């Protein structure tokens, strides 16, 4: 008997079908964020300005991608090391300008052709692609964008948002998969504002204008991502939780809410918010990250909240196309390929664990007010031979098991990353 066969029996005794769980997970798309590979830099700025918008990468581990080709090669390496269905997640600042497509244009003028190379990349690998307008790290941030009182600034960023809707529609059509387009800005204030409503009214109007650009809501899913605060904008965030959720609720036919689990007060948990939102919204989107004390965007670990988030996705029927899952972190202090791979494999692990939960039984115990047995069973489920199922899942997906992939990353670092200036 193999270790997997033994594990399969153990789970079967609890009524859990490990083969069905693996098959289910294999087709769930998870969006891989391109920005872990180059510390959220992108390629569209002529001079190398600072990362703005209240987000921060810390560390300067060698080997970050400097060109689209390097970033693509790095993403390929990650894809080869992770099981399951992947999607790419691009930011507008990763536009590729060259002689053939007419050279550089500013963000209000970007077009689908600037993402043609990414489309080719995705097509060759059978990937879908999500998209994000980039409302930061640009001279037109004054520092506000969509909430700016300066009409010229606001117009520029609305045009950027509209251009991104057109690009998202193009990505969805070319790749034949839904494109989730996330609207997030770092708009906010360092200190106590005198007017909290004005910026929000302008923000609302700006998003209205962006979403007035035509798109097929079956293919393009614009999202509004909320936030609690950012670096340098500690006192007030325009796109707060209430603002963003109300915007999405009032515009259910046009957009969906996006929750990033780094964007709440430290004792709030997104796991609990998932079923709350799914009670009302047909679809929601997530940025899975790891906050340490603040929105620090550390690599996702297999920690309690990641597991709990994945349980709620599975229990709420989120895998049936109701929850769009994306990663969002950027650690510049460690090998970036490894950072990406650990985080993506961990989300896969947490989802597989959730699929291997005896959830029907546990729910029945809850409904029967049988909290004693629920505790016993839930605790016992934690030491089932999960590792053997995970190893089998990796084998079936044709990727290296735990303990085997890191050698591959070390080799890539030695041969490729270490040669980058
Ligand atoms: C920032 C938001 C946002 C960004 C990306 C790069 O706090 O989480 O999603 O991380 O758009
Ligand atoms: Zn995010």
Tokens of residue 294, six digits: 């603040």
Closest ligand, as measured to the CA of 294: 1
Instruction: Give the separation between CA 390 and CA 283, rounded to whole angstroms.
Output: 28
Total H helices, total E strands in the chain? 14, 12
29-33 and 128-132 strand pairing? unpaired
Task: Of 11-25, 38-52, 81-95, 161-175, give the lowest mean pLDDT range.
Answer: 38-52
24 CA to middle of ligand 1, Å?
Answer: 29
DSSP-derived letter for residue 233 is B
Mean pLDDT of 87-108: 97
Mean pLDDT of 142-157: 98
pTM above 0.95, yes or no: yes
Q: How confident is the model at residue 236 (pLDDT cuts 50, 70, 90)?
A: very high
Mean pLDDT of 153-169: 98
Of 261, 169, 182, 251, nearest in space to 222 by CA: 182
Q: Which pLDDT belongs to residue 48?
A: 80
Mean pLDDT of 112-116: 98
DSSP SS3 for 189:
strand
**pLDDT of 295-348, one tens digit each?**
999 999 999 999 999 999 999 999 999 999 999 999 999 999 999 999 999 999
- For the cut 90, the answer to whether the pLDDT of residue 365 exceeds it is yes
For residue 222, the surrounding DSSP H or E stretch is: strand 220-225
- For the cut 90, the answer to whether the pLDDT of residue 149 exceeds it is yes
- Which burial class, exposed, middle or buried, applies to 394 when counting CB atoms under 10 A from its CB (0-12, 13-18, 19+)? buried
Q: What is the 3-state secondary structure (H, E, C) of 268-326?
A: CCHHHHHHHHHCCCCCEEEEECEEECEEEEECCCCCHHHHHHHHHHHHCCCCCCCEEEE
**pLDDT of 187-233, one tens digit each?**
999 999 999 999 999 999 999 999 999 999 999 999 999 999 999 99
184 CA to middle of ligand 1, Å?
Answer: 7
Mean pLDDT of 229-251: 98
**pLDDT of 393-412, one tens digit each?**
999 999 999 999 999 999 99
For residue 381, the surrounding DSSP H or E stretch is: helix 371-381
Q: Which pLDDT belongs to residue 46?
A: 81
256-260 and 284-288 strand pairing? parallel
Q: Which pLDDT belongs to residue 421?
A: 79
Instruction: Give the separation between CA 238 and CA 197, rounded to whole angstroms.
Output: 9
CB 217 within 8 A of CB 257: no
Task: Judge if the beta carbon of residue 295 lies within 6 A of ligand 1.
Answer: yes
DSSP SS3 for 356:
coil
From residue 349, how far is each of 15, 220, 310 by CA, in Å? Answer: 20, 28, 9
Mean pLDDT of 178-190: 98
CB 311 within 8 A of CB 317: no
Instruction: Give the separation between CA 260 and CA 262, rounded to whole angstroms.
Output: 5
CB 154 within 8 A of CB 140: no
**pLDDT of 259-308, one tens digit each?**
999 999 999 999 999 999 999 999 999 999 999 999 999 999 999 999 99
Share of the chain above pLDDT 70, in %: 100
Which atom of ligand 1 is the closest one to the Cα of 227?
7
Tokens of residue 328, six digits: 């969002």
DSSP SS3 for 406:
helix
Task: Judge if the beta carbon of residue 260 lies within 6 A of ligand 1.
Answer: yes
Q: Which residues are in the CB-under-5-Å shell of ion ligand 2?
A: 260, 287, 328
Task: Judge if the beta carbon of residue 340 lies within 6 A of ligand 1.
Answer: no
**Please, which residues bridge with residue 182 across strands?**
223
For the annotated catalytic residues, the residue numbers are 184, 225, 227, 260, 263, 287, 295, 297, 328
Alpha carbon 97 to its chain centroid, in Å, reads 25
Which atom of ligand 1 is the closest one to the Cα of 134?
11
Q: Which pLDDT belongs to residue 414?
A: 98
Share of the chain above pLDDT 90, in %: 99
Site to probe by mutation for ligand 1, drawn from 224, 287, 330 as the one with most ligand atoms within 8 Å of Cβ, is 287
């Amino acid at each position: 008997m193999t270790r997997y066969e033994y594990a399969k029996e153990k789970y079967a005794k609890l009524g859990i079908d490990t083969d069905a769980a693996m098959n289910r997970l294999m087709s769930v798309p998870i969006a891989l964020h391109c920005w872990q590979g180059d510390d959220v830099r992108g390629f569209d700025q002529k001079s190398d300005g600072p990362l703005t918008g209240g987000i921060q990468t810390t560390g300067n581990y060698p080997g970050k991608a400097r060109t689209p080709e390097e970033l693509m090669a790095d993403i390929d390496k990650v894809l080869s090391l992770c099981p399951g269905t992947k999607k790419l997640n691009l930011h507008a600042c990763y536009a590729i300008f060259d002689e053939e497509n007419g050279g550089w244009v500013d963000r209000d003028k970007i077009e689908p052709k600037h993402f043609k190379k990414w489309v080719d990349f995705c097509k060759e690998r059978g990937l879908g692609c999500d998209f994000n307008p980039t409302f930061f790290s640009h001279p037109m941030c004054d520092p506000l964008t969509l909430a700016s009182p300066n009409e010229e600034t606001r117009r520029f960023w609305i045009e950027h948002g509209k251009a991104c809707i057109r690009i998202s529609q193009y990505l969805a059509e070319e790749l034949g998969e839904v494109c989730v387009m996330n609207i997030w800005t770092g708009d906010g204030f360092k200190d106590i504002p005198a007017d909290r409503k004005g910026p929000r009214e302008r923000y609302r109007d700006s998003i209205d204008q962006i979403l007035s650009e035509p798109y097929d809501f079956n293919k393009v899913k614009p999202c509004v991502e909320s936030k609690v605060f950012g670096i340098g904008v500690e006192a007030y965030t325009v796109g707060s939780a209430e603002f963003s959720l109300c915007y999405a609720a009032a515009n259910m036919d046009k957009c969906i809410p996006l929750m990033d689990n780094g964007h709440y007060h430290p004792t709030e948990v997104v796991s609990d918010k998932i079923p709350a939102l799914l009670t009302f919204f047909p679809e929601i989107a997530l940025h899975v990250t790891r906050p340490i004390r603040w929105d620090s965007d550390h690599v996702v670990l297999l920690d309690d909240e990641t597991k709990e988030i994945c349980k709620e996705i599975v229990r709420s029927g989120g895998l049936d196309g109701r929850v769009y899952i994306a990663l969002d972190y950027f650690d510049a202090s460690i090998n970036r390929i490894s950072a990406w791979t650990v985080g993506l494999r961990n989300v896969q692990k947490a989802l597989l664990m959730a699929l291997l939960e005896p959830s029907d039984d546990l729910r029945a115990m809850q409904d029967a007010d049988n909290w004693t047995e629920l505790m016993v069973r839930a605790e016992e489920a934690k030491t089932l031979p999960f590792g053997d199922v995970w190893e089998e899942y990796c084998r079936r997906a044709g990727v290296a098991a735990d303990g085997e992939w890191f050698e591959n990353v070390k080799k890539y670092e030695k041969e490729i990353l270490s040669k980058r200036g």
